[in-house]
Chains A and B, each alone.
Chain A
Amino acid sequence: MTTGNMWQPVSLSHSIETATSAGTRLCGEDLVVWRDSSGVAHVWEDRCPHRGMRLSFGFVRGDHIACLYHGWQYDTGGQCQYIPAHPDLEVPKTIKVPVYLTEERAGMIWTTLAADAGPLTVPADETGTVPVQSLYVDCSADAAIAVLESMTLAPFSAGRDAETTVSVVTPSLYSVSTGQDLLLVGIQTITDERTALHVVISGLPEVYEGGGQAHFLSWALDLRYRIETPPKKTFAVPAHTVAEAL
């Protein structure tokens, strides 16, 4: 069980291009994830202090994000710096958007709702990562993880079947390995009943870009299908056995 006070991934790094933004939720809190023009990722509360408009509907200009409603511009610290309707106004320091700790690791953007969370313990990428997909499913994180742990993975690099190993890296990061291939799956608790699984390949882009991504996309879509399609109970298997397997 993870909480919003622990580090969790909120997007694949690849999904937030430079100078763009997108909304998401972490444990029910609305967040905007955005990347400034120098490439640095930010995670904030998704709410303009002016009229409550979602900042994820807004647009990025340089190192500022601007609200779609009235163009109020905020710097990378969340401080409002410019109000177009009052161009000469020195904006009061009280007009500030709550910002959250943000790190990029394992090809994902990570945040925590706690200001005093310790450092992110996800290991640094040694070989680089290659994005696959973010899966969004209607179930708890625990239910999604239970299916993840039951998955087998066909290797891309070696032609023959190898053993699949699923391990816990942190409470919000799982690794799935087979042969020479290693996938990382970041778990985001959107709400108690909605979960995102962010899938990347741990490895060199020159090895996995293209064919390797397509190979593991098939696996990711299979994982999503299995999460969304619980196995049917049969007469041969008593109901309590199915429940235990899950």
Chain B
Amino acid sequence: MAALTLYNYELDESCYKVRLGLSMLGLTWETIAVDVFPGKEQTTPAFLAMNPAGRLPILKDNHLVLSGTEAILAHLAKTHDASGKWLPESGAAFALVMQWLNFSARDLDATIAARQHSLFDAPGDETALRAASVKALRVMDDHMTARGFEGADWFVGSDATIADIALFPAFALSRDFGIDHDEYPALRRWARKFRTIKGFITMPGIPDYH
């Protein structure tokens, strides 16, 4: 078995975040496909033994079994990025990356729920999820508008970080749950820049052309 193994579902944006991280860090990894829809294989005993929460992604790095998208991204950056750019160690930059990872895990959960409701008929209050998603995307657009005035391209610091990786799919896939890119000009600019990072890959719902 390869050192890095990703338990993956192709249509899951959280798995996509990890695939982006692995690819942008230039790593090689083995993918094990999991039948999430309709099989719910991630909630069967073999998977609950790896992540009792019953969710993907799960990453195996030799003997370490890790779940939680943001934790996986942080682990990859900490242990597999010699440049140190993807997870900066200096005080403020480190703290701000953590802030946006926290935003990704908490505030962007509405976008995940909205998309799963839209694509897989998962339960949820469509109006409330839409409103929470719009609110979160607007926070991101306001931030990147202000960052643009500082001449900055990324959410934190002067280089792309795992914060950008964690935040990208919610915007890139927002049309899946009925939110257009029309009213987020700063995010459109950021997403175009993000797509030029070496190792960028798409997933279903994100066009190759742009």
Q: B-contacting residues of A (Cβ < 8 Å)?
A: 11-12, 14-15, 17, 20, 22-25, 56-59, 66, 68, 133-134, 136, 196, 209-210, 213-214, 217, 221
A52 to chain B, nearest CB (A): 15
Contact A210 B145 (CB under 8 A): no
A123 to chain B, nearest CB (A): 25
Q: How far is the CA of A179 from the CA of B42 in the complex (A)?
A: 63
List the one stretch of B81-89, B105-113, B120-128, B184-192 in contact with chain A. B184-192
Contact B209 A59 (CB under 8 A): yes
CB-CB < 8 A to B146: which residues of A? Answer: 214, 217
A221 to chain B, nearest CB (A): 7
Q: A-contacting residues of B (Cβ < 8 Å)?
A: 142, 145-146, 149-151, 175, 180-183, 185, 188-189, 192, 207, 209-210
Q: How far is the CA of A11 from the CA of B182 in the complex (A)?
A: 10
Q: Closest 9 CB pairs between A and B?
A: A15-B185, A213-B149, A136-B183, A23-B182, A59-B209, A214-B149, A24-B182, A133-B145, A59-B210
Q: How far is the CA of A15 from the CA of B185 in the complex (A)?
A: 6
Q: How far is the CA of A133 from the CA of B183 in the complex (A)?
A: 11
Contact B183 A217 (CB under 8 A): no
Task: Among A11, A56, A134, find the residue whose CB has the most chain B CB atoms closer than 10 A.
Answer: A134
Task: Among B145, B149, B150, B185, find the residue whose CB has the most chain A CB atoms closer than 10 A.
Answer: B149
Contact A209 B149 (CB under 8 A): yes
CB-CB < 8 A to B175: which residues of A? Answer: 57
CB-CB < 8 A to A14: which residues of B? Answer: 185
A222 to chain B, nearest CB (A): 12
Known: A133-B145, A214-B149, A221-B142. A23 touches B185 (CB 8 A): no
Q: How far is the CA of A119 from the CA of B185 in the complex (A)?
A: 28
B180 closest partner in A (C-beta):
A23
Q: How far is the CA of A17 from the CA of B149 in the complex (A)?
A: 16
**Sample of 25 A–B contacts (CB below 8 Å):** A12-B185, A15-B185, A15-B188, A17-B192, A22-B181, A22-B185, A22-B188, A23-B182, A56-B180, A56-B182, A57-B175, A57-B207, A59-B209, A59-B210, A66-B209, A68-B209, A133-B142, A134-B183, A136-B183, A214-B146, A214-B149, A214-B150, A217-B146, A217-B149, A221-B142
Contact A22 B182 (CB under 8 A): yes
Q: How far is the CA of A213 from the CA of B183 in the complex (A)?
A: 19
